[in-house]
């Protein structure tokens, strides 16, 4: 009978990585690290743009793997160099997700006076850097036991490793990605230069103002209420990025999110306008313009959005509840790993060499001290800030491990980081209330804890996936850790700038920055609302409670994702509509592929080409979107307008039709010969 202590050793002896453990080849090279850093900055900025506008981020693993293979092939790089480049390149997406879910909340909650560099750069950078470094350190403590666990399938890691193994197909895959980056960028800029209108509001009457009425009583009763008004609904935005998001997540998830938008703009907003009509103006902020379009937008912002917040709260809790078995298992593995004794590093083979637990724990202690100073500076409080740092350390390690475990089961694309962060925020907020802390200082402290935990959890999940890819390919764990630490520091130093650029450019264009219709930042809005409501005492609780019951009702109706429905209610209708259209394009492409009788291998090639096409469109708009944001500060001649009143019907719809042909037709050309073997599937 085998003893428990020898089982892991025997398991490792049976496993044979792609690159044998006794083989040495270039791995941690300057070109691989530099390429990874360039990718992490670009993909991180692109995800920041996408997340602030659509509330969704897209996994960077597949695009980074394809780009890394295509570029390093020029210098005949090794598969382990490609792994280092991809590892460094994907972490920006994790940092961007953590940043956009929390950093804008400081401004939305008015905890910071502005988002200009003098007020926000060092705070943003410090919060992101502490969180990301802690994410690397936390998951490093439990890396071995989770990576080698046969019960964790790591779907995205397996897909990424297979892509590296099938490297000879990299040039063909890169073609779909790079060409469509150009297409996405050109389409976006042509819309901004006024060749066509990207958006269109559609106004419609709800009843007949002055004539419609609701009778509150039996027939003949004189107890009637005057009703009627005018509402609006937006057409789908002509956005390569939104269409790409819908294509990647598929019609089913896109439909669930779109359902939230339909509930908001097809039911709640018209219902409020019908019953209250012109009297709505008396209940809205005094600066609301006296026109129906502005009144409808104000109803959505001040009434419907708080209801959506309640729904998101229930959705996040329900997501964690459904994953309770995985959470418990992940936490148990974390503590069992910590109880194991440190092995002699000198006697370990290359694929078993990783940063010692002693070093990791020492760095965590250093990060804790820095965190205490950071929270004291942000809040101006001492004892509450130190206690908040302690809470962050405990909860942060717990959720980083949970995040890694969830990525092992479902991949980072489906990792509920915002739900984990929401739980952290509630714990920190209740602690502040218990200590008697209120006002701006308490809100800033709570958001500071949430920001660090959010970034660390997001980075931890991404890193564990990278560890698994390295384990399959035969990478050196210590070099992967070092590459990740370098990447998170660089990404932390630059992540503020795309956020600031988008915020200030939105204000320059007449918006309000974070929280505006064009820069919704739904997760950050949720964090800010809860922090202000619990600590600051400024929350429309009746509306939030309505949203909570609405979320419970969705669970009782067995809605697949109540969180996604609530996010759809929170986002602008043109955004969810465009994402839905992208899902329709994916469904039409799949239908045509089946109609042509493609076999499984051909279907896989079509899926891969479609994902890369959509990823290219997203990256193209995101990168040029940042360029356009920068042009807001340039002279007016740098932003020429082709048409003073561009058309949506004869311009935007034509562009939408052309994008449909591209997104449906181009992937079908990649089907190839039926006798060719199936390539690795792009799991996004």
Euclidean distance between CA atoms 250 and 579, whole angstroms: 9
Mean local confidence (pLDDT), 481-496:
91
Residue keyed to tokens 């000198």: 346
Mean local confidence (pLDDT), 454-458:
86
111 in Cβ contact with 443 (< 8 Å): yes
- State in Å, rounded, how far the first CA of the chain is from the last one: 42
Q: With H, G, I as helix, E, B as strand and everything else as coil, classify residue 355.
A: coil
Lowest mean pLDDT among 79-88, 95-104, 675-684: 675-684
In tens, the pLDDT along 214-247 reads 877 777 777 877 788 888 889 999 999 889 888 9
State pTM to two decimals.
0.74
Mean local confidence (pLDDT), 192-207:
89
Q: Could you give the percent of the chain with pLDDT greater than 70?
A: 83
Q: Cα–Cα distances in Å, from 462 out to 211, 397, 401, 459, 629? A: 59, 15, 12, 5, 29
Question: In sequence order, what are the beta bridge partners of 516?
Answer: 519
pLDDT at 412: 63
Q: With H, G, I as helix, E, B as strand and everything else as coil, classify residue 232.
A: strand
In tens, the pLDDT along 307-321 reads 887 887 787 778 667
**Which of 577, 639, 21 is closest to 260 using CA atoms?**
577
Per-residue confidence at 124, pLDDT binned at 50, 70, 90? very high
The yes-or-no verdict on residue 61 having pLDDT over 90 is no
The continuous run of DSSP H or E covering 213 comes out as: strand 213-215
pLDDT at 12: 41
205 in Cβ contact with 638 (< 8 Å): no
**Which of 610, 562, 498 is closest to 246 using CA atoms?**
610
**Is beta strand 213-215 parallel, antiparallel or unpaired with respect to 201-206?**
unpaired
The yes-or-no verdict on residue 87 having pLDDT over 50 is yes
Report the sign of the C-alpha dihedral through residues 378, 436, 420, 552, in that order.
negative
The yes-or-no verdict on residue 283 having pLDDT over 70 is no
Lowest mean pLDDT among 55-64, 127-136, 335-344, 630-639: 335-344
The yes-or-no verdict on residue 438 having pLDDT over 90 is no
pLDDT at 16: 77
Q: How many Cα atoms within 13 Å fall on the side-chain side of residue 667?
A: 31
pLDDT at 288: 62
308 in Cβ contact with 298 (< 8 Å): no
**Biggest CA pair distance of the chain:** 93
Euclidean distance between CA atoms 382 and 370, whole angstroms: 13
Between 142 and 251, residue with greater pLDDT: 251
The yes-or-no verdict on residue 4 having pLDDT over 50 is no
Q: Cα–Cα distances in Å, from 203 out to 232, 259, 337? A: 4, 20, 60
Euclidean distance between CA atoms 654 and 196, whole angstroms: 9
**Which of 390, 494, 398, 384 is closest to 444 using CA atoms?**
384
Phi, psi of 516 (to 5 degrees): -70, 165
363 in Cβ contact with 138 (< 8 Å): no
What is the pLDDT of the chain when averaged over all its residues? 81
pLDDT at 261: 93
Cα angle for residues 496, 67, 659 (degrees, 5° grid):
85
For 451, the token pair is 């920001």
421 in Cβ contact with 457 (< 8 Å): yes
Per-residue confidence at 13, pLDDT binned at 50, 70, 90? very low
Q: Could you give the percent of the chain with pLDDT greater than 90?
A: 19
Q: With H, G, I as helix, E, B as strand and everything else as coil, classify residue 83.
A: helix
The yes-or-no verdict on residue 327 having pLDDT over 70 is no
The yes-or-no verdict on residue 642 having pLDDT over 80 is yes
Per-residue confidence at 562, pLDDT binned at 50, 70, 90? confident
Between 423 and 553, residue with greater pLDDT: 553
């Amino acid at each position: 009978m085998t003893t428990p202590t020898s089982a892991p050793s025997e398991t490792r002896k049976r496993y044979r990585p792609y690159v044998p453990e006794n083989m040495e080849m270039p791995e941690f090279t300057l070109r691989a690290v530099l390429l990874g850093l360039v990718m992490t900055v670009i993909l991180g900025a692109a995800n920041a743009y996408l997340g602030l506008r659509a509330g969704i981020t897209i996994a960077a693993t597949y695009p980074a793997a394809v780009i890394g293979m295509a570029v390093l092939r020029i210098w005949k790089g090794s598969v382990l160099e490609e792994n280092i480049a991809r590892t460094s390149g994907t972490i920006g997406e994790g940092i961007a997700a953590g940043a956009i879910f929390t950093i804008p909340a400081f401004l939305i909650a008015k905890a910071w006076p502005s988002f200009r560099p003098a007020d926000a750069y060092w705070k943003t950078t410090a919060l992101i850097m502490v969180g990301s470094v802690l994410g690397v350190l936390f998951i490093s403590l439990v890396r071995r036991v989770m990576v080698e666990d046969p019960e964790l399938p790591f779907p995205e890691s397996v897909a990424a490793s297979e892509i590296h193994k099938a490297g000879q197909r990299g040039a063909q895959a890169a073609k779909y990605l790079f060409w469509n980056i150009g297409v996405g960028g050109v389409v976006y800029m042509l819309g901004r230069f006024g060749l066509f209108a990207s958006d269109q509001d559609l106004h419609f009457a709800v009843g007949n103002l002055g004539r419609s009425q609701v009778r509150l009583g039996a027939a003949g009763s004189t107890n009637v209420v005057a009703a009627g008004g005018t509402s609006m609904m937006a057409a789908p935005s002509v956005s390569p990025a939104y269409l790409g998001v819908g294509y990647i997540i598929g019609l089913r998830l896109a439909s669930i999110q779109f359902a939230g938008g339909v509930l908001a703009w097809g039911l709640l907003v018209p219902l409020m306008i019908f019953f209250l009509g012109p009297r709505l103006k008396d209940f809205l902020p005094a600066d609301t313009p006296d026109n129906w379009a502005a009144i409808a937008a104000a109803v959505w912002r001040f009434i419907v959005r708080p209801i959506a917040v309640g729904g998101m709260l229930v959705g996040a809790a329900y997501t964690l509840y459904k994953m309770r078995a995985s959470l418990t298992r992940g936490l148990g593995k974390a503590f069992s790993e910590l109880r194991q004794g440190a092995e002699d590093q000198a006697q370990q083979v290359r694929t078993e060499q990783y940063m010692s637990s002693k070093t990791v724990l020492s760095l965590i202690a250093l990060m804790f001290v820095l965190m205490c100073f950071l929270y004291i500076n942000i809040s101006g409080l001492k004892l509450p800030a130190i206690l908040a740092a302690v809470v962050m350390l405990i909860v942060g390690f717990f959720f980083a491990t949970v995040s890694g475990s969830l990525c092992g089961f479902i991949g980072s694309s489906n990792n509920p980081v915002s739900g984990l962060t929401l739980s952290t925020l509630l714990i920190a907020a209740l602690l502040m209330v218990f200590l008697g802390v209120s006002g701006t200082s308490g809100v800033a402290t709570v958001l500071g804890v949430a920001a660090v935990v959010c970034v660390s959890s997001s980075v931890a999940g991404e890193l564990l996936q990278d560890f698994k890819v390295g384990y399959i390919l035969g990478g050196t764990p210590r070099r992967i850790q070092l590459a990740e630490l370098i990447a998170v520091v660089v990404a932390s130093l630059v992540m503020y700038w795309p956020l600031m650029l988008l915020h200030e450019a939105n204000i320059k264009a007449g918006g309000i920055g974070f929280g505006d219709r064009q820069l919704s930042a739904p997760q950050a809005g949720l964090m800010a609302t809860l922090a202000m409501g619990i600590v600051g005492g400024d929350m429309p609780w009746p509306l939030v409670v309505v949203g909570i019951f609405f979320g419970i009702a969705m669970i009782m109706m067995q809605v697949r994702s109540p969180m996604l429905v609530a996010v759809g209610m929170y986002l602008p209708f043109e955004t969810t509509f465009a994402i839905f259209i992208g899902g329709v394009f994916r469904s039409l492409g799949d239908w045509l592929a089946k109609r042509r009788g493609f076999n499984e291998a051909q279907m896989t090639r079509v899926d891969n080409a479609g994902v890369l096409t959509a990823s290219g469109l997203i990256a193209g708009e995101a990168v040029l979107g940042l360029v356009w944001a920068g042009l807001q500060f340039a002279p007016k001649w740098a932003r020429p307008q082709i048409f003073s009143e561009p058309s949506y019907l004869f311009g935007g719809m034509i562009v939408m039709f052309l994008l449909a042909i591209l997104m449906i037709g181009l992937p079908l050309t990649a089907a190839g010969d039926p006798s060719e073997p199936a390539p690795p599937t792009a799991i996004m």
